[in-house]
């Protein structure tokens, strides 16, 4: 094991920490093995249409932008995060037992969990932009999306409205009831075609007891940091929140 020691640690602590370190090494290897397997995926299906989104224009108005236009020159990978910001309240989303529909309340306000992810991605976007294209899509009127982004102080994310197309439904970010789902999808520009590469399908598998699907946890810093603390995630279903009263 690692030849490191912290001040005043006990033998009991070091023995337990070394056992944990062995598990962490195996976890690291498993994560890389899964990432390597993901990288070897063949390209998926060609997108059924060149979806038209709405986004903010430089003159202060709005403009239509096609999926194909989200690819910058020299960057053939596009990641799209689907933000749960419904145009109206709905009351259904997949439940924990089977991934099938369960009756759970959803408010008209933006999803607090999605918001916490995007708070982080907004800061990461300038770094990601060196390698890939990134966009955030919500099936909500653009003015509502932009007003909320201004409230959060987002400065870098490319925000799009999919209110006028079927992107969310086609790529598993919307279920039959109309409830919006938090999906991350990756697309590849393959010559003159755009093809799907990968999506966070763990959302639609059976959930382990006591756990949410954790399909986007790898891009969600708050949980990864809390996992390193004694209390861990603490099973708090009311966290994160849109605000904390301070």
Domain ranges across the chain:
9-40, 52-226
- Asked if 204 and 172 count as a contact pair (C-beta separation under 8 A), the reply is yes
Once rounded to an integer, what is the mean pLDDT over residues 200-210? 89
Q: What is the token pair recorded at 32?
A: 């890389």
Q: Is the pLDDT of residue 127 over 50?
A: yes
Task: Count CB atoms within 10 A of the CB of residue 64.
Answer: 11
pTM: 0.88
Higher pLDDT: 95 or 100? It is 95
Burial of 159 (0-12, 13-18, 19+ CB in 10 A): buried
Which has the higher per-residue pLDDT, 130 or 99?
130
Question: Which CATH number, 3.40.50.720, 3.10.270.10, 3.40.30.10, 3.30.1330.60, labels domain 52-226?
Answer: 3.40.30.10
Can you read off the two tokens belonging to residue 29?
A: 């290897």
Q: CA-to-CA distance for 100 and 94, rounded, in angstroms?
A: 5
Find the helix packing angle between 142-152 and 112-128, rounded to 10°: 80
Report the pLDDT value the prediction gives residue 76, as an integer from 0 to 100: 98
Q: What's residue 233's pLDDT? A: 84
**Residues recorded for the chain:** 246
- What is residue 246's predicted lDDT score, i.e. its pLDDT? 60
């Amino acid at each position: 094991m690692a030849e490191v020691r912290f001040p005043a640690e006990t033998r009991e602590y070091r023995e337990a920490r070394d056992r944990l370190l062995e598990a962490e090494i195996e976890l690291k290897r498993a994560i890389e093995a899964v990432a390597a397997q993901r990288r070897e995926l063949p390209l998926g299906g060609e997108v059924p249409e060149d979806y038209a989104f709405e986004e903010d224009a430089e003159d202060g108005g709005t403009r239509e932008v096609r999926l194909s236009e989200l690819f910058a020159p020299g960057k053939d990978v596009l990641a799209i995060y689907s933000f749960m910001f419904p145009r109206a309240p709905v009351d259904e989303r997949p439940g924990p037992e089977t991934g099938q529909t369960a009756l759970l309340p959803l408010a008209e306000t933006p999803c607090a969990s999605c918001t916490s992810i995007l708070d982080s991605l907004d800061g990461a976007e300038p770094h990601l932009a060196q390698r890939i294209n990134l966009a955030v899509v919500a099936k909500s009127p653009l003015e509502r999306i932009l007003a909320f982004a201004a409230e959060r102080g987002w400065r870098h994310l490319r925000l799009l409205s999919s209110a006028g197309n079927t992107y969310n439904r086609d790529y598993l970010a919307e279920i039959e009831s109309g409830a919006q789902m938090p999906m991350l999808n990756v697309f590849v520009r393959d010559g003159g075609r755009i093809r799907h590469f990968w999506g966070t399908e763990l959302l639609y598998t059976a959930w382990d007891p006591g756990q949410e699907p954790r399909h986007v946890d790898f891009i969600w810093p708050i949980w990864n940091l809390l996992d390193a603390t004694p209390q861990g995630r603490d099973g708090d279903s009311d966290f994160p929140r849109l605000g904390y009263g301070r």
